[in-house]
A and B are shown apart, each in its own frame.
Chain A
Amino acid sequence: MLSVRDLTVSVGPETAPVDIVAGVSFDLAKGEILGLVGESGCGKSMTSLAVMGLLPQPGPRVRAGRVLLEGSDVTQLQPWQRVEAGHGRMAMIFQEPMTSLNPVRRIGDQIAEAVRVHEGISGAAALSRARELLELVRMPDPGMQLSAYPHQLSGGQRQRVMIAIALACRPQVLVADEPTTALDVTIQVQILGLLRELCNRLDMAVLFITHDMGVIAQLADRVSVMYAGRIVETAAVDALFGEPRHHYTRGLMDCMPSRNSGVRRLPTISGQPPVPGTVAAGCVFALRCAAVHDECRVAAPPRLEASQGHEVLCAFPLAGGELP
């Protein structure tokens, strides 16, 4: 459904670009949820914006690589250009439901607007479709909410509206950038459940971006772990949590409270992620890696297939079955 190949997003001058996303590749199948996990600043949001053609302008740009939607190259197209070219069936929901809706326009209006673009219907028909969409996302009292303004809704309700707007595009691919980070835990569970259900029912492919390993474990089918602009490990959820192969992934696992019951102080990965553009050669994780070899500092790590569908970007990956 969606293929991303060697996506590279850069900032700075053309002559000396700094890659904040460096050669990211992944595939997304129908009805599948791929989790993209990483810490703040690792490039996961930039990846999602680049995939959607929504990079802020002026600002970062896609310097290399391709985004293929059902085989069509949409890399350099903004959403409206994709709609014109007939590849508009992608949608995105964002982290901040509080600021992602226009405060001076009614909810129904904001959903109907997306309906008009993607279905070519307008007026009352678009509004009744908006109402259907609100029902689809389990909005309480959808008829009333059509004429509400965003400030009259709670955070969870606003995120439902955002999902309704996204669904108005009849998306084949839904990109969700930390959609539950700003919500209460109980609401978070509801929204995650809703996303899973919609994904199954509408057969959508979902790219789910988060920094929360717990959410990934709960929701995703497959996971890609990002570090310093690169995907360092990709696997099915069970395989990744059961047998992490990359030292960084392993480090993240060791930091999780649920795996450290009774410990007073959680372990951490020492050091800081590198500032983009400062790693000239070798592995980006070499500075912080516990199992670093001399070779890691000079040669870029290979992408190895540890097992079927389990890829790792490391010259000396962990052996399988290491976690208890």
Chain B
Amino acid sequence: MTLLAASVIIFAFIHIVPGDPIYVLLGDTATPDQIDALRHQLGLDQPIILQYLNWTGHVLEGDLGRSIFFQAPVLSVIADGAETSTLLATMTMIWVAVIGVPIGMIAAVRHGTWLDQGLSGAAMLMASIPTFWVGLYLILIFAAWLGWFPSSGYPSIFEGGVVNLRYLVLPSLALAAPNAALILRLTRASMLDVSREDYVRTARAKGIRPWQVVRRHIWRNALLAVVSAFGFTFAALLSEAVVTETVFALPGIGRLVVQSILRRDYPVIQGVILVIVVVYLLVNLIVDLSYRLLDPRVELQ
């Protein structure tokens, strides 16, 4: 249902936007005959309803069509970008998890102290700085001055091996900065919320040491709110890392979408957006399933 609605909206919006892929492909010098011929060849001369039904029919068969610009199957175009984006998003989420969650916990436990204020302030700062700026400074320091990591591009790990992951270290750090900051603040707020719960008072009344109260009664309950944010951050990173991908010249999904829109490469835009919708649905499902693990009150229907 969601997919169907999404596909209609995608299709409608793309074709409402002015512009024509034919001119992008053929340039200003094309003759009207050439234009008509190509338009017919790509099926763009048919009524839009027919184009939509045509496209949906192929999608259901697992065929997302051919890219007008790349002259290649949309699926393989997306697959190329997906490798970079998935690895980048995963690496970013690892940073977010190891930086954001523990520091958020520390800030919550030390709530109200100078440490908490310092960490929360730093988080606010990190969340406010644009990623391209962080990215440029990371390149300047770690690539240009220190030479620890490459500054741009990403050769596939399937060709160069796992060492190629080093290409993703700086971009993932740049992406992690604002996201870790947000997760930090969320973790902190969530822990503080939970620590005001009645059952935490019960735990304290038992005579358990403070850090045991945190470990046994606050942490897991606070995690519930953080888990869903994690899912959506991951999904967003897959498709919305345009700026970072541009700064680091990475062949990711975000850049693919933007460039395809500029080229009016309808099949690619449609395909990518469809894939992103599917990813969001999957992430949603995984988040719901993980709730089942974390919270016994959630029953599987």
Instruction: Report which A residues bind B (CB closer than 8 A).
Output: 52, 54, 56, 58, 78-80, 82-83, 88, 91-92, 94, 96, 99-105, 113-114, 117-118, 149, 151, 162, 165-166, 168-169
Contacts and interface: CB of A to CB of B under 8 A. Distances in A.
A151 B221 CA distance: 15
A80 B221 contact: no
A54 B201 contact: yes
18 contacts: A54-B205, A79-B205, A100-B198, A100-B201, A103-B199, A103-B295, A104-B221, A104-B294, A104-B297, A105-B217, A113-B206, A113-B216, A114-B207, A117-B206, A118-B207, A151-B296, A168-B206, A169-B206
Given A92-B205, A102-B203, A80 B210 contact: yes
Interface in B179-233: 196-199, 201-210, 216-217, 220-221
B210 to A, nearest CB: 7
Contact of B296 (A80, A83, A92, A103): A103
Interface of B: 112, 196-199, 201-210, 216-217, 220-221, 294-297
A117 B204 contact: no
Given A52-B205, A101-B202, 8 more contacts: A80-B208, A99-B198, A100-B199, A102-B217, A104-B221, A104-B295, A114-B207, A166-B205
B140 to A, nearest CB: 43
Contacts of B202: 94, 100-102, 162, 165
B297 A94 contact: no
B222 to A, nearest CB: 11
Contact of B199 (A83, A101, A149): A101
B198 A94 contact: yes
A91 B221 CA distance: 24
Closest A-B pairs by Cβ, 6 of them: A83-B207, A99-B198, A114-B206, A79-B207, A102-B199, A149-B296
A58 B112 contact: yes
Contacts, number: 76
Nearest to B205: A92
A114 B216 CA distance: 12
Contacts of A79: 204-208
Contacts of B294: 104
Contacts of B206: 79, 91, 113-114, 117, 165, 168-169
Given A80-B210, A149-B297, A54 B199 contact: no
A240 to B, nearest CB: 29
Contact of B205 (A58, A91, A96): A91
A92 B217 CA distance: 18
B207 A88 contact: yes
Contacts of B207: 79-80, 82-83, 88, 114, 117-118, 169
Given A58-B112, A104-B294, A149-B296, A96 B198 contact: yes
Contacts of B197: 99
A78 B201 contact: no
Contacts of A56: 196, 201
* Residue in B112, B206, B296 whose Cβ sees the most chain A Cβ within 10 Å: B206
A100 B206 CA distance: 12
Nearest to B295: A104
A80 B205 CA distance: 8
Contacts of A83: 207
Interface-central residue, A54, A82, A100, by most chain B CB under 10 Å: A100
B143 to A, nearest CB: 45
Contacts of B198: 94, 96, 99-100
Contacts of B201: 54, 56, 94, 100
Nearest to B218: A102
A54 B204 contact: yes
Contacts of B112: 58
Contacts of B196: 56
A92 B203 CA distance: 11
Contacts of A52: 205
Contacts of B295: 103-104
B69 to A, nearest CB: 51
A105 B202 CA distance: 13
